[in-house]
């Protein structure tokens, strides 16, 4: 029984999180009264909290008072939450979910930030440390089901800074409550913003009826789906199913019917199949793909008026055995299937290939990398025993991303043919940029030099601990870059042999704030200058650049 329940929970979670475009969430309101205040912007200095800067406004709720609580309008129910939280180094706070159930945010905790506390005593620690440094915004997502499955309440998932830290935490002794969600600040500064939620109701506002189908045989699995032009099988059906008696080897199944919608709204439709498929409403394709998909969900949103509509579902199983599902979801109810459940059996999840820990010396992996909207093909990722890792573009000489914790998911590199050749970071990630960091001091507005004939990668060498030093040649000058773990972050060491002609860009961001003579906050990470370098900020387009003259050797630390 327990095993069946856990399988249902896993499937339920998959429906909530995979392949489905998200709906706009509702903004929560809070009744502000002293000692709680509102602000437009808070810049917290991690070195000296007394230098914290607060700009008045309405987008942030905060307090510095200990043991201060604030209650939201959100009733405890089946819901999804998303918000951002900011704390000082001494910060300790909790989100109260009712009936002695809390989510704890203690900045001084080594391994319990984001822990679940039940009955004020049972502590369930997160499966991984996903906490950012003090003064940086933490992103929190949570899905809670008080009604649960088989009557057992459950926290379906908690995601901290895009890392899953809790999954399917059963709450057998939790009772439903009429209370509201609230925050309690215990020590330090607590601020939060962007608090949004969806409350799920038990309803199924879209149904289908009056189903008819045609089934025609095709010659093969080619995308032309050429028909054998023989008599089609047609009939009526009580459900969307491929369980129709036939002797066809390859075929196209075409369903038509009525769709009944209870009220106007934006609805999501997700297809999952082995083969190809598409879903149409009133003759317009809502979601579908001509590509051969092996149970890779695809989805889209559509605004639909209340009333009766026509729908069509066209499915081609090609050379895999028939499997398909059509799922509908909305902003206030959980996803459910329109198909016969037997047509979409519980999926056997693929095993993954992971490099969680790097032992003894650093490990380098060459791979492709999806970076923003571009697939980069000349990337090296370096994992270290200190659990500080990074990816580097060998063409542009740019530090692409840094992360800490577990190293990498290499499933798409090493599973079967490894065709995508993609590496994915497994830890707490900070994405940087992909611009060539070196520039001429007398020509800062220069066009990008060609990476094959001008700015040329001269290779890299590994030191005794396995850390690479990269060398580049440009305009009769030679440069090196080395990145290694230090002080819980990444030490960046840069050299150039023509010190009066070139500069170096240490960081690019939407916002750069000077916190002290040697400490800068760039978006959601810190840059600490280790050398007495001339540092300055320039605006270039819509971005800000933190730059320095390349006076021999410069060094700085990235922390996040």
Q: What is the CATH number of the domain that holds 403?
A: 2.70.98
- Helix spans in 28-168 (H): none
pLDDT in tens, the chain (560 residues): 333 333 333 333 433 433 345 677 888 989 899 999 999 999 998 888 888 999 999 999 999 999 999 999 998 889 999 999 999 999 999 999 987 899 999 999 989 999 999 887 789 999 999 999 999 999 999 999 987 877 889 999 999 999 999 999 998 877 656 689 999 999 999 999 999 998 888 899 999 999 999 999 987 666 666 777 778 899 999 999 999 998 888 899 999 999 999 999 999 999 999 999 999 999 999 999 888 898 889 999 999 999 999 999 999 988 888 999 999 999 888 889 999 999 999 876 667 899 999 999 999 999 999 999 899 999 999 999 999 999 999 999 999 999 999 999 999 899 877 778 999 999 999 999 999 999 999 876 678 899 999 999 999 999 999 999 999 999 999 999 999 999 999 999 999 987 678 999 999 999 999 999 899 999 999 999 987 778 999 998 899 999 999 888 999 999 99
Q: Which positions ≥6 away from 300 have C-beta within 8 Å? A: 21, 268, 269, 286, 287
The residue out of 199, 227, 242 marking a domain boundary is 199
Q: What is the CATH number of the domain that holds 300?
A: 2.60.120.380
CB count, 10 Å around CB of 40? 12
158 lies in a domain?
A: yes
CA–CA gap between residue 337 and residue 341 (Å, rounded): 7
Q: Look at the chain and report how many structural domains it folds into.
A: 3
For residues 458 and 324, state if they share a domain.
Answer: no
Looking at the structure, do residues 408 and 334 belong to the same domain, yes or no? no
Domain assignment of residue 515, yes or no: yes
Decide which of 343, 376, 398 is a domain's last residue.
Answer: 343
What pLDDT, on the 0 to 100 scale, is given for residue 221?
Answer: 64
Distance CA 384, CA 427 (A): 12
Q: Distance between CA atoms of 309 and 85, rounded to whole angstroms?
A: 44
Q: Are residues 396 and 285 in the same domain?
A: no
Same domain, 335 and 377: no
End-to-end CA distance of the chain: 43
Residues 375 and 303 in one domain: no
Q: Which residues are CB-neighbours of 41 under 8 A, at least 6 positions away?
A: 53, 54, 55, 57, 60
Evaluate whether residue 79 is within a structural domain.
yes
Domain assignment present for residue 96? The answer is yes
348: in domain: no
Closest of 175, 158, 17 to residue 82, by C-alpha: 158
Range of the domain at 323: 206-343
Does any domain span residue 478? yes
> Do both 135 and 52 map to the same domain?
yes
The residues, any chain, with a CB within 8 Å of residue 455's CB and separated by 6 or more, are: 396, 397, 436, 438, 449, 472, 473, 474
Tokens of 386: 């200190």
* 370 and 307 co-located in one domain: no
Domain check: are 113 and 194 in the same one?
Answer: yes
User: DSSP letter at 385?
Assistant: T
Q: Any idea how long the chain is?
A: 560
Q: Which residues contact 222 (CB under 8 A, 6 or more apart)?
A: none
* Token duo for residue 8: 């249902």
Q: Are residues 462 and 326 in the same domain?
A: no
Element of type H or E holding 15: helix 2-17
CA dihedral 281, 285, 286, 291 (to 10 degrees): 140
Residues 321, 467 within the same domain: no
Residue 55 and residue 89 in one domain? yes
Pair 148, 287 in one domain = no
**Boundary (domain end) residue, out of 343, 371, 389:** 343
Contact predicate 400/381, CB 8 Å: no
Q: Which of 535, 548, 527, 539 is nearest to 439 (CA)?
A: 548
- Whether 349 is in a domain gets the answer no
For residue 558, give the nearest of 518, 526, 536 by alpha carbon. 526
Phi, psi torsion values for 401, nearest 5 degrees: -160, 155
pLDDT recorded at residue 250: 86
Residue 371 lies in a domain: yes
Residue with tokens 């379906």: 156
**CA–CA distance, 3 with 170 (Å, rounded to integer):** 13
CATH of the domain at 21: 2.60.120.560
SS3 51: helix
């Amino acid at each position: 029984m327990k095993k069946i329940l856990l399988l249902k929970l896993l499937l339920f979670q998959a429906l909530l999180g995979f392949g489905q475009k998200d709906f706009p969430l509702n903004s929560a309101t809070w009744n502000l009264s002293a000692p709680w205040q509102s602000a437009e912007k808070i810049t917290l200095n991690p070195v000296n909290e007394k230098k914290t800067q607060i700009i008045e406004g309405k987008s942030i709720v905060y307090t510095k008072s200990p043991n201060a609580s604030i209650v939201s309008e959100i009733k405890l129910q089946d819901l999804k939450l998303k918000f951002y939280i900011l704390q000082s180094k001494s910060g300790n706070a909790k989100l109260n979910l009712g009936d002695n159930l809390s989510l704890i945010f203690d900045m001084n905790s080594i391994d319990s930030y984001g822990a679940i506390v039940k009955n004020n005593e049972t502590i369930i620690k997160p499966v991984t440390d996903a906490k950012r440094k003090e003064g940086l915004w933490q992103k929190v997502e949570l899905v809670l089901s008080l009604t649960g499955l088989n009557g057992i309440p459950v926290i379906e998932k908690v995601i901290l800074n895009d890392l899953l830290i809790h999954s399917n935490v059963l709450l057998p002794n939790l009772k439903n409550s009429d209370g509201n969600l609230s925050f309690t600040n215990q020590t330090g500064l607590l601020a939060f913003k962007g608090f949004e939620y969806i409350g799920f109701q038990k309803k199924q506002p879209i149904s289908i009826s009056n189903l008819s189908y045609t089934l025609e045989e095709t010659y093969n699995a080619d995308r032309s789906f050429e028909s054998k032009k023989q008599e089609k099988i047609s009939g009526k059906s009580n459900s969307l199913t491929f369980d129709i008696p036939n002797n066809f080897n390859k075929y196209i199944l075409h369903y038509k019917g009525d769709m009944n919608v209870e009220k106007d709204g934006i609805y999501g439709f997700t297809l999952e199949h082995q083969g190809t498929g598409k879903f149409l409403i009133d003759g317009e394709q809502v979601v579908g793909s001509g590509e051969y998909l092996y149970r890779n969900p695809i989805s889209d949103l559509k605004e639909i008026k209340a009333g009766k509509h026509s729908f069509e579902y066209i499915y081609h199983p090609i050379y895999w055995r028939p499997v398909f599902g059509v799922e509908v979801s909305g902003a206030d109810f959980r996803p459910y299937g329109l198909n016969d459940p037997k047509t979409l059996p519980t999926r056997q999840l693929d095993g993954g290939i992971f490099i969680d820990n790097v032992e003894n010396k650093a490990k380098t992996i060459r791979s492709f990398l999806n970076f923003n909207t571009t697939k980069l093909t000349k990337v090296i990722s370096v994992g270290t025993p200190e659990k500080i890792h990074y990816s580097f573009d060998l063409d542009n000489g740019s530090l692409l991303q840094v992360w800490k914790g577990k190293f990498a998911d290499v499933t798409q590199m090493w599973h079967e043919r490894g065709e995508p050749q993609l590496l994915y970071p497994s830890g707490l990630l900070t994405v940087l940029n992909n611009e060539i960091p070196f520039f001429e001091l007398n020509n800062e507005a220069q066009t990008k030099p060609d990476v094959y004939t001008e700015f040329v990668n001269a290779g890299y060498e590994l030191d005794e601990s396995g850390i690479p030093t990269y060398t580049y040649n440009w305009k009769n000058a030679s440069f090196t870059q080395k990145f290694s773990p230090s002080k819980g972050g990444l030490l960046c060491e840069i050299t150039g042999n023509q010190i009066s002609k070139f500069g170096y860009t240490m960081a690019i961001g939407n916002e750069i704030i000077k916190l002290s003579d040697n400490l800068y906050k760039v978006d959601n990470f810190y840059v600490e200058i280790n050398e007495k370098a001339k540092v300055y900020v320039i605006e270039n387009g819509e971005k800000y650049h933190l730059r320095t003259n390349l006076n021999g050797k410069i060094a700085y630390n990235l922390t996040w």
